[in-house]
Amino acid sequence: MSKKEVIHLYKKVIEDLRAAIENGDYQTGDLLPSENELCRSYDTTRVTIRQALSALANMGYITRKHGKGSIVSEPKTGLGILSVSGVTAGIGTQKLTTTILQKPIKQDWPADFFFPIDDSESKNGCIFFSRLRHINETPVLYEETFITNVDLPRFSSRSLENRSLFKILKEFYNVEVTEGEQKIWAIHADKNISALLNIKTSHPVVHMKRRLQTNNKGVRIYSSLFCNTEENFLRDSF
Amino acid sequence: MSKKEVIHLYKKVIEDLRAAIENGDYQTGDLLPSENELCRSYDTTRVTIRQALSALANMGYITRKHGKGSIVSEPKTGLGILSVSGVTAGIGTQKLTTTILQKPIKQDWPADFFFPIDDSESKNGCIFFSRLRHINETPVLYEETFITNVDLPRFSSRSLENRSLFKILKEFYNVEVTEGEQKIWAIHADKNISALLNIKTSHPVVHMKRRLQTNNKGVRIYSSLFCNTEENFLRDSF
DNA sequence: ACAAACAACTTGTATATACAAGATAACTTT
DNA sequence: AAAGTTATCTTGTATATACAAGTTGTTTGT
């Protein structure tokens, strides 16, 4: 936009240091420049610098040590959202792919939806889609997702194939998950899930229902998913 | 202790306001006294008051609104630790009881423990105990817990019957969970679990392995648990 | 070579002050 | 009665300064 935006100094300090940490300019365990050094760099006072460093500490980027300095922290592991993970540490060694079974479409909320929907959400309907995830060509997880139809223009026309829903929401809509809840059952796969996951109906699968809130109060993400955990598992960290 | 402890003013402000919120003196949605009012009350400056209010905001007690005030927030729901929950909202309507099958004992870490144990933890052994949880007299969850044997004097002699492990750790040792990870499988109950949970071996149960870190770096809590989710489910919020 | 004391660094706590910007209440005008 | 303006409240951003307390490196004494 052509309008000239002002950025407050303490926010610039936050962004500069955050970018430096995320770009690898500082490694876990490194000391950031001291408060006095940063005062000189930015030609400002300790109060301004300390406000920026306090914010970074609260976001988990650094740890403050009295008399020593600001130490770069281990990156935060996760928010607590369960997702499929490999038997070996991490999924990097395995091939995770996602097929869109149902492309995003706008629809009414299903009757008897598995989480209570409030009136304002109910009015606008939702965006619904479903995905099947494979690990090394083996289907392991089927997920149906319902997102409130608010503040997400042209979402339905975006491709989700092999892409992270959360990354799309972040990149295009500046939407980030802030909190949520998850409910977990172990069930026998029914006929539909058996077919989708290529397993016997007697096979135990994890069934999860999840509700996520975001930094945009209107945008909520609901999922129902079924996961075959014979070779893999669901994992979260917080 | 007889030694006179000094408390810094901004910390006193935090504690006073936190206690007032937790005691119900302020309800969700209420405005706290303005910064200027608090300056007068505590005979101090806005910088000191703002530091306290900033800390309360970061802990989730209040939300700051430019030009309006400090609004008391909805209490934070949870850290993301899965626990057994009822079919109806909350467990309050049902009777949850806990039986200690194995009282806390000190022992070596099991060979091939389900999470990697570092050398310093390994040396000291662990505290092990197991519990069976019932909902309305029905066994629903069996949990084995291993805690690092560090900074927990006389833990083995404490009664865990019908008491929250986390509350005991908080009350007696000032230990609070800060982060963790959980791994989830759906499995058929084996003979041992079938017997404990009073179900058929073909029955699907949730198997979870969890590792929790605390504000005391030495204290970590590992659990392996099995949950029958036919009438209930595991639930977390974060 | 080692221990103690000191100096110089760091972050933590605090006071004082000023202006920017958002929200709300009170007042005035239509 | 409604709309516009103004005043007064609020939090947000920022400068300047001082002392407390923790950490680390240097110097001195044994």
- What's residue A86's pLDDT? 65
Does pLDDT of A118 surpass 80? no
Residues 6+ apart with CB under 8 A from A25: none
Regarding predicted confidence, which is higher, B103 or A122? B103
- Kindly state the average pLDDT of the residues B84-96: 62
Least confident of B69-78, B83-92, B192-201, B221-230: B83-92
Residue A87: its pLDDT value, please?
52
A191: Cβ contacts below 8 Å, ≥ 6 apart: A201
Mean pLDDT of chain A: 87
Name every chain A residue with its beta carbon within 8 A of the beta carbon of B182: 82, 235-237
A157 confidence band (pLDDT: 50, 70, 90): confident
Q: Nearest CA to B205 among B161, B143, B147?
A: B143
Residue B231 structure tokens: 């009438």
Q: Within 7 A of a protein CB, which nucleotides of strand C?
A: 9-18, 21-24
Whether the predicted pLDDT of A221 surpasses 60: yes
**Protein residue minimizing CA–C1' distance to D14:** A48
A58, A186, A238 member nearest B79 (Cβ): A238
- pLDDT given at position B208: 95
Q: Indicate whether B90 pLDDT > 80.
A: no
Mean pLDDT to the nearest integer, B16-35 = 94
Work out the average pLDDT over B131-140.
90
B83-235: same fold as B9-72?
no
Span A19-42, mean pLDDT? Answer: 94
Report H helices in chain B.
Answer: 9-22, 35-42, 46-58, 119-124, 165-173, 191-197
Q: Give the mean pLDDT of B112-133.
A: 85
Q: Which residues of A touch B80 (CB under 8 A)?
A: 79-80, 236, 238
Whether B52 has its CB under 8 Å from any CB of chain A: the answer is no
Q: What is the pLDDT of residue A90?
A: 47
pLDDT at B4 over 70: no
Q: Taking Cα atoms as reference points, which of B200, A138, A52, A99 lies closest to residue A44?
A: A52
pLDDT (average), residues B199-219:
88
Distance CA B188, CA B186 (A): 7
Work out the end-to-end distance of chain B between its first and last CA atoms, rounded to an integer number of angstroms: 37
- By CB atoms closer than 10 A (0-12, 13-18, 19+), residue B21 is buried
CA atoms within 13 A on the CB side of B101: 13
Q: Which residue of A has its CA nearest to B47?
A: A47
Q: Is the pLDDT of residue B196 over 50?
A: yes
Q: State mean pLDDT over B201-205.
A: 90
CATH class of B9-72: mainly alpha
Mean pLDDT of A124-143: 91
Amino acid identity of A189?
Answer: A
> Would you call B44 helix, strand, or coil by DSSP?
coil
Torsion, Cα of B53, B54, B56, B58 (10° steps): 170
φ, ψ at A195 (rounded to 5°): -65, -45
A111 or A45: which leads in pLDDT: A45
Topology classification of domain A83-235? Chorismate lyase (3.40.1410)
The answer, for A179 touching chain B at a CB cutoff of 8 Å, is yes
- Domain ranges, ordered by start, for chain B: 9-72, 83-235
Residue A153 has pLDDT above 60, yes or no: yes
**pLDDT over 90, % of chain B:** 52
Residue B174: pLDDT band (50, 70, 90) is confident
* B54 vs A: CB within 8 A: yes
